[in-house]
Amino acid sequence: MFIRFKYIACTIFFFICVVFLFAGGKNIGNIRSVAYAWNLGHVVLYLLAGFLLTGTIKQTNKIPFPKQVVLFSLVSVVSGLIIEIIQLHTGREFSLKDVLWDFFGMLTFLVFFSTSAQNIKKTYLRLFQLSVLIILSVIIIPLGILIIDEAAAKQQFPVLSDFETWFENKRWISTNKLEICDNPVVFDNKSLKVTLSPGRYSGLSLNHFPQKWTGYNFLKISIFNSYEKKIKIYCGIKDKIHDNSGYNYNDRYNGKFILNHGWNQIEIDLNKVLKAPLKRDMDLNKITSVFLFMAYLKKPMIIYIDDVKLTK
Ligand SMILES: [Ca+2]
């Protein structure tokens, strides 16, 4: 009776996971921890898939453990790949990471819950279990870091980024090298060193912060120009409407600033940001990104950023 209930519960959870992972989740927003936790559903899904496979096809319980590992791993990888390919046709992205997480989910089932696993030498089983636990910890630790950083960002607001915590550079996205450093700083003890690569556009973008900016008048960003000559830097600000309507140049704030040698404080009037889109007002309740870039760099250039904040 209990076993039947276990499989009914597994089946229900399995289909809930399928619906949430493949039908929902497209518009989670920019809460990184939620997006990350959502993807952890792949591990849970394939853990449940292991129960369902052994519960519905009884012969699979009798397969020796090594063969079971190969067979179940193949099932998870092949079905995971098929799911990702199907998702490509529904406007989602193909993710090898998701396939890997499907595999880890199945592996978790095998080493902790498969009856065949009980037939192998206990020492080996404990080693397998320890290895899977380490992998699961590696998967889960980033979620903890994201939750801590999101709580810190909330607490720091209206400061958006001052780099005083070591994981804060994860709020920024860039193909360039970003490092938190001790010198030069304009506020407290740390700033962000950005090594810009040569190219048509080289920059970085602050994507994770509390999005509601109403009630503030200015965005201020401190940037250190380590060169003797003046440099030109561009700054853009986007909202959710912009992101959902094709990233049109005239539908966001675009600013240009000249930086002298040393620390410069860029000051952007949020009233100008409000009126920046050509055919509408910027939604200051849902700002999604602040980006900085230099154009047509011929050689690598280093700048430092600190004390990115909103003020009244
Ligand atoms: Ca700082």
Structure tokens at 263: 């620390």
Angstrom distances, CA of residue 190 to CA of 197, 199, 256: 22, 28, 26
CA of 229 to the centre of ligand 1 (A): 24
Could you list the beta-strand ranges (E) of the chain.
159-161, 172-173, 177-181, 191-196, 199-206, 218-225, 231-239, 253-259, 262-269, 287-297, 301-311
pLDDT in tens, 102-145: 999 999 999 999 888 888 889 999 999 999 999 999 989 999 99
Question: How do 177-181 and 262-269 pair as beta strands?
Answer: unpaired
Phi, psi of 255 (to 5 degrees): -130, 160
CA of 182 to the centre of ligand 1 (A): 9
CA of 158 to the centre of ligand 1 (A): 14
Q: Identify whether residues 117 and 45 lie together within a single domain.
A: yes
CA of 166 to the centre of ligand 1 (A): 11
Q: Identify whether residues 149 and 180 lie together within a single domain.
A: no
**Residues paired with residue 301 on neighbouring β-strands, in sequence order:** 196
Q: How far apart are CA 195 and CA 176, in angstroms?
A: 6
| Number of domains the chain contains | 2
CA of 44 to the centre of ligand 1 (A): 39
pLDDT in tens, 156-205: 999 999 999 888 888 999 999 999 999 898 878 999 999 999 999 999 99
Confidence of residue 214 (pLDDT cuts 50, 70, 90): very high
Q: Identify whether residues 150 and 212 lie together within a single domain.
A: no
* Parent domain of 184: 160-311
CA of 208 to the centre of ligand 1 (A): 17
Q: Identify whether residues 214 and 96 lie together within a single domain.
A: no
CA of 263 to the centre of ligand 1 (A): 13
The distance from CA 201 to its chain's CA centroid, rounded to whole angstroms, is 23
CA of 52 to the centre of ligand 1 (A): 52
